[in-house]
Amino acid sequence: MLVAHDKNEKRIYANSINKQGKFYCPCCHSQVRLKNGSIKIPHFSHIRKANCENNESESYLHLKGKNALYKQINELYSSTQLEVYLESIKQRPDIYNYKFIIEYQCSPIKDNTLNKRINGYQKLKIKNLWILGFKYYKRNKIIFSSLKFLKYNVNYGFYLLFFDAQYEVFKMKYHINQDDINYYFIEKSFKNFKEFIFYFNYCDTFIDNKSNIIKTIKIISNELKSKDKYWLNLNDFCYQNHKVLLGVPLACHSFTNVAPILGKYKLEFCILTILIIESYKKVSYKFLYAKIEKSLLDRLFMPMLDLKIILQSILVNFLQCLENANVIIIEKSTITMIKSFEWYEDYFDKLNIYNK
Q: End-to-end CA distance of the chain: give it in Å, rounded.
A: 38
Instruction: Give the angle 183-188-191 at the CA atoms, nearest 5°.
Output: 145
Residue type, 335: I
Q: How far apart are CA 219 and CA 232, in angstroms?
A: 13
SS3 (DSSP) at 34: strand
Helix axes 266-280, 307-324, angle to 10 degrees: 60
Q: Say what the pTM is.
A: 0.53
Helix, strand, coil content of the chain in percent (nearest 5): 40, 20, 35
Q: Is the dihedral of CA 259, 264, 268, 270 positive or negative?
A: positive
The pLDDT of residue 205 is: 38
Q: How confident is the prediction along the chain (356 residues), in pLDDT tens digits per residue?
A: 667 777 777 777 776 677 777 777 776 677 777 777 666 667 677 777 666 665 566 677 888 888 899 989 988 887 888 888 888 888 889 999 888 899 999 888 888 888 888 889 988 888 889 999 999 999 888 888 888 888 887 678 789 999 999 899 999 999 888 655 578 888 999 999 988 887 776 544 333 455 666 777 778 888 888 888 988 999 899 889 998 888 888 888 777 666 677 777 888 999 999 999 999 999 999 999 999 999 988 887 766 667 888 888 889 988 988 888 888 999 888 999 998 888 887 767 666 655 55
Report domain 210-355's class: mainly alpha
Q: How far apart are CA 198 and CA 206, in angstroms?
A: 8
Question: Would you give the DSSP letter of residue 139?
Answer: T
Of 265, 313, 271, the C-alpha closest to 289 is 313
> CATH 1.10.10.10 residue ranges in the chain?
210-355
Cα 56 from chain centre: 28
For residues 27 and 87, the answer to whether their CB atoms sit within 8 Å is no
